[in-house]
């Protein structure tokens, strides 16, 4: 996703830290995460400072993605204070999920028609739905997606159309022998109608048919988390997203 935006993206695996930074206006493509398991507080404190230093060196903002289950219990309890000392604010939290849930029946929804994203116009609609759902400027979402060949060919990206108007979207991509669900969103005015679940099922269904893969993973926001267990996903690690203090 990051290299798709620019071949000059910062993609590095440092000791205990993975950097995937496109320097895109779409902040989800600018990310750092910790990779060590059972990390103790002293080590995590150093890593937080390293991550903050890297983030400060970048032109555009992004997130430190921190998977709580990689930390020791003592470290989890001390994390908020340690992050604050490093100059980081908690932006929002979510949860990782996974499941051996495929194949699933071909999905449908009485309000929706599903179309695969194959044009820049459709990809812009996909970006705009995400921007509205996550509170980004439309320009920022478009910077993250419009013009992408990857999203029109390798990602099983689908729009859900209500009366011909795109109102919901979901993508699924093959990675490391499983499927990863990415950028599920519904236009806020059409929430709580089952649209997000339906289009996610469609994306998974088509990705499974194309690849034969049966295991899927995702990162859910707190707001979206209730949807995915209904499909068959099981929660695993809480995820905390940090940005630099203003």
How would you write the pLDDT of the chain (246 residues) with one tens digit per residue?
A: 999 999 999 999 999 999 999 999 999 999 999 999 998 999 999 999 999 999 999 999 999 999 999 999 999 999 999 999 999 999 999 999 999 999 999 999 999 999 999 999 999 999 999 999 999 999 999 999 999 999 999 999 999 999 999 999 999 999 999 999 999 999 999 999 999 999 999 999 999 999 999 999 999 999 899 999 999 999 999 999 999 998
On whether both 79 and 12 belong to a single domain, the answer is yes
On whether both 209 and 123 belong to a single domain, the answer is yes
In a domain, 218, yes or no: no
Tell me whether residue 121 is exposed, middle or buried, using C-beta atoms within 10 angstroms of its C-beta: 0 to 12, 13 to 18, 19 or more. Answer: exposed
On whether both 150 and 72 belong to a single domain, the answer is no
On whether both 128 and 196 belong to a single domain, the answer is yes
pTM to 2 decimal places: 0.94
State the number of CA atoms in the 13 A half-sphere of 66 facing the CB. Answer: 28
Give the CATH number of the domain where residue 142 resides: 3.40.630.30
Residue 9: give the domain boundaries: 2-94+240-244
What's the structural domain count of the chain?
Answer: 2
In a domain, 123, yes or no: yes
In a domain, 228, yes or no: no
On whether both 76 and 159 belong to a single domain, the answer is no
On whether both 111 and 196 belong to a single domain, the answer is yes
On whether both 41 and 120 belong to a single domain, the answer is no
On whether both 72 and 152 belong to a single domain, the answer is no
On whether both 79 and 120 belong to a single domain, the answer is no
On whether both 109 and 208 belong to a single domain, the answer is yes
The closest alpha carbon to 58, from 127, 130, 8, 7, belongs to 8
In a domain, 230, yes or no: no
């Amino acid at each position: 996703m990051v290299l798709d935006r620019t071949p000059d993206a910062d993609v590095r695996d440092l000791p205990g830290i993975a950097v995937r930074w496109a320097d895109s206006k779409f902040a989800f493509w600018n990310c750092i995460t910790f990779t060590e398991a059972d990390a103790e507080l002293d080590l995590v404190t150093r890593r937080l400072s390293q991550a903050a230093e890297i983030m400060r060196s970048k032109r555009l903002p992004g997130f430190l993605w921190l998977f709580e289950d990689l930390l020791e219990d003592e470290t989890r309890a001390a994390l908020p204070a340690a992050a604050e000392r490093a100059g980081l604010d908690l932006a929002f939290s979510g949860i990782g999920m996974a499941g051996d849930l495929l194949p699933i029946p071909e999905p449908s929804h009485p309000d929706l028609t599903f179309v695969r994203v194959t044009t820049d116009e459709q990809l812009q609609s996909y970006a705009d739905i995400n921007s509205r759902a996550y509170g980004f400027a439309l320009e920022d979402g478009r910077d993250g997606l419009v013009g992408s060949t990857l999203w029109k060919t390798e990602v099983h990206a689908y729009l859900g159309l209500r009366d011909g108007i795109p109102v919901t979207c979901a993508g699924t991509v093959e990675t490391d022998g499983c499927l990863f669900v990415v950028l599920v969103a519904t236009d806020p005015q059409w929430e709580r109608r089952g649209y997000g679940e339906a289009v996610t099922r469609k994306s998974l269904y088509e990705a499974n048919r194309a690849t034969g893969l049966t295991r899927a993973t995702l990162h859910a926001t707190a707001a979206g988390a209730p949807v995915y267990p209904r499909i068959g996903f099981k929660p695993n690690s809480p995820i905390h997203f940090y940005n630099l203090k203003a």
